[in-house]
Amino acid sequence: MINAILQYQFLQNAALSAALASIACGIIGTIIIEKKMVMMSGGIAHTAFGGIGLGYFLGIEPITGALGFSVLAACIIAKIQRTTKISSDVLIGMFWSLGMALGILFIAFTPGYPPDMNSYLFGDILTVSQLDLKIIITLNCIIVFVILAFFNLFKAYLFDEEFATVIGIPTIILEYTLYILIALTVVVLIRVVGIILIIALLTAPPSIARQFTNNLKKVMSISVILGIVFSLTGLWLSYTFQVPSGATIIIVSVMSYLAVSVFQKIRRLPI
């Protein structure tokens, strides 16, 4: 596998994108778990499909369309949730379905043969292009910079939003920023595991890390490392056995979570 990576450009792109995606995933996934925003993140992820369809319809890069669509959807969701009494479950369901429906509609209106959407829905890390890689690197840098620059503010917002508001922390701005960062992370992960499978990779590494520590920085760090291990292991299995990469990465992640959870439960049993 190492020799193949050194020889083939597409495997180099795949390995690098896996590592970069794991960084964004580990950081934002930890925040999503702490803030209990897993399903909300799923709603934002599925709206990205509308942007992909729009990208094909307009003849632009689909990932660019997904980026604009998901960021816009994230801001709208944050605005509606903060200013109305609509249940978050209802909001998630509506945007989840709307994004998929718009994507199907735009693709139906696209001239010529309909494009193959499997790589966007289920991921295909082996098809990551140089342009995809540049987008992933740019978005990754934005995510890491924002979190590092405002880490203490985010930490206060995550663990006690009401107290953070009282002491003057701009929680509304932080909330909008968090939603946008989730949207950026979704775009980073689309080419790696696909829209349908994003939630699992966002949640599995932080859920494992939390079983060993409650320190936010340590959870993020462990999540990043686990994400890299899971992604590269899934990539190796995918390349070796010629199976879908996105599904393989998710299976490795979830099975690892189950194994660690069972081990921890057995370890805590009285002797």
Task: Give the global pTM.
Answer: 0.92
Per-residue pLDDT tens digits for 160-170: 888 888 888 89
What's the mean pLDDT when you consider all of the chain?
A: 89
Domains and CATH numbers, the chain: 2-268 (1.10.3470.10)
pLDDT at residue 114, as a whole number:
79
Per-residue pLDDT tens digits for 22-69: 999 999 999 999 998 888 888 899 999 999 999 999 999 999 999 999
- Three-state secondary structure of the chain: CHHHHHHCHHHHHHHHHHHHHHHHHHHHHHHHHHHCCHHHHHHHHHHHHHHHHHHHHHCCCHHHHHHHHHHHHHHHHHHHHHHCCCCHHHHHHHHHHHHHHHHHHHHHHCCCCCCCCHHHHHCCHHHCCHHHHHHHHHHHHHHHHHHHHCHHHHHHHHHCHHHHHHCCCCHHHHHHHHHHHHHHHHHHHHHHHCCCCHHHHHHHHHHHHCCCCCCHHHHHHHHHHHHHHHHHHHHHHHHHHCCCHHHHHHHHHHHHHHHHHHHHHHHHCCC
